[in-house]
Amino acid sequence: MQLTFDAEVEAFRTEFTAFLDTHLPAEADTAERSHSTADVPVWARRWQRLLFDEGWLLPGNPPEFGGRNATLMQSYVHLEELSRRRIYHSFNPQGLGIIAASLLTFGTDEQKRRWAVPILRAEMTAALGMSEPGAGSDLASLSTRAELAGDGSQFVVNGQKVWTSGAHDADVLLTFVRTDPDAPKHKGISCLAIPTDTPGVTRRPFGSLTAPDDLDFNEVYFDDVRVPAQNLVGPLNEGWRVAGGSLGHERTLLWLSFSDRMDELLRDFRPLTDLDKDWYATLAMDAQALRLLGLRALARAARGEQDVPALSVLKLLGSEAVQKAAERALEAAGPDGLAHPATTAPYAYMHWEDFAGSWFQRYARTFAGTIAGGTSEIQRTIVAERVLGLPRG
């Protein structure tokens, strides 16, 4: 087994680290904080724009979309170097990783020009309108309706989304709607790009346990919202394919962020008792297992053998191992875990709040990983049926 990268990939890494060493924003310029996943401070917009212009934003993209036609392995070391420095390439992760990526895959040239490129250049931010009060894990049950009006030039949208991260700060919503109520539920769904200033769109941000001061979640209501037919992304009634592609964009290298969290926990968790040491050893083994499995999946994808259901194993292992380790670190810290900062990791001035906090806060944040992008129960079902081939329950 080869666990090193070839010379071409290492040369790519060297070029990128030289860029980072020269161009990282100075600490004095980064005081402005981000308050939601679609709120991008001015300095961070400048940073993302620089990455776009230099082809370092999403290196796998062609130059006109912020990349340099890099290979998958090169894209991986790019993320490794970013996370080593605890830098985001964008403070609107769903805009960059899901929405712009979906528009580049499924959108028309006009949609790419109007939304994808401005999102990539940090001139616009975007939010993802999938989940509804009655459709989370079972996304295909969504009931927000879009009806073609009169001459077919407009959709009229009515319904509600929930958990829409950053919607109150976003310029555009990638929204999944039901366009054929009579078709089987996976078949009557379409995808619309809806600018948030369209009359009839109401966004109501609400707090969460982990960020009571920074509102990120939203309920979004659509009341007779008129959307031009040219905002349809992908073919009519084929939104399920777009949704699958959107989440696929999110999943490919998702395990890497869990791997980073595990490395941070290994640095910060201070085992004192024998039991703590046992937990610490479990964390160390889980971290190693995730990295090896992740690299194996990466090598397969680089050979063109990508196995999408197998990515569920990585998501499940990564998110749950992080959660278990944070819970145990909290227990080991005792009552102090509620109050005191729990980080000893290097100070990361660009977004230190993501890494700092009490052990309780760090534990509470891990629930995002086991719920968003498909809950652990849903991942287990995928692993059972599509990876292990067990009979359907």
Ligand X SMILES: Cc1cc2nc3c(=O)[nH]c(=O)nc-3n(C[C@H](O)[C@H](O)[C@H](O)COP(=O)(O)OP(=O)(O)OC[C@H]3O[C@@H](n4cnc5c(N)ncnc54)[C@H](O)[C@@H]3O)c2cc1C
Quick one: 291 or 362, whose CB is closer to ligand X? 362
Q: How many residues does the chain have?
A: 393
The SS3 call for residue 15 is helix
Rounded CA-CA distance 109/255 in Å is 32
Quick one: 94 or 323, whose CB is closer to ligand X? 94
Minimal distance, residue 234 CB to ligand X, in Å: 17
Minimal distance, residue 184 CB to ligand X, in Å: 18
Quick one: 13 or 145, whose CB is closer to ligand X? 145
Query: For binding to ligand X (CB under 6 A), which residues are involved?
Result: 94, 127-131, 136-137, 163-165, 368, 371-372, 375, 377-378, 381
250 is catalytic: yes
Quick one: 154 or 164, whose CB is closer to ligand X? 164
Measured at the alpha carbon of residue 150, what is the angle toward residues 147 and 151, in degrees to the nearest 5?
110
Minimal distance, residue 391 CB to ligand X, in Å: 15
Minimal distance, residue 171 CB to ligand X, in Å: 15
Rounded CA-CA distance 96/104 in Å is 11
Q: What token pair was written down for 368?
A: 């995002």
Nearest partner of 365 among 309, 325, 312, 305, judged by Cα: 325
Quick one: 211 or 299, whose CB is closer to ligand X? 211
Q: What token pair was written down for 167?
A: 């919607």
Minimal distance, residue 224 CB to ligand X, in Å: 22
Among candidate residues 250, 320, 377, 385, the one labeled active-site is 250
Minimal distance, residue 308 CB to ligand X, in Å: 17
User: CB nearest ligand X: which residue?
Assistant: 136
The SS3 call for residue 273 is coil
Rounded CA-CA distance 271/332 in Å is 7
Minimal distance, residue 314 CB to ligand X, in Å: 18
Count Cα atoms within 13 angstroms, Cβ side, for 310: 12
- Asked if 125 and 162 count as a contact pair (C-beta separation under 8 A), the reply is no
Residue holding tokens 């890497």? 256
Between helices 254-268 and 274-302, what is the axis angle to 10°? 160
Nearest partner of 194 among 217, 241, 161, 163, judged by Cα: 161
Quick one: 30 or 143, whose CB is closer to ligand X? 143
Q: What is the DSSP string of 316-371?
A: HHHHHHHHHHHHHHHHHHGGGGGTSB---SPP-TTSGGGT-SBHHHHHHHHHHHHH
Kind and range of the H or E run holding 195: strand 189-195
Per-residue burial over 226-236, b = 16 or more CB atoms within 10 Å of its CB, e = otherwise: ebeeebbbbeb
Rounded CA-CA distance 202/32 in Å is 27
Rounded CA-CA distance 12/174 in Å is 33
Quick one: 247 or 325, whose CB is closer to ligand X? 247
Residues marked active site are found at: 250
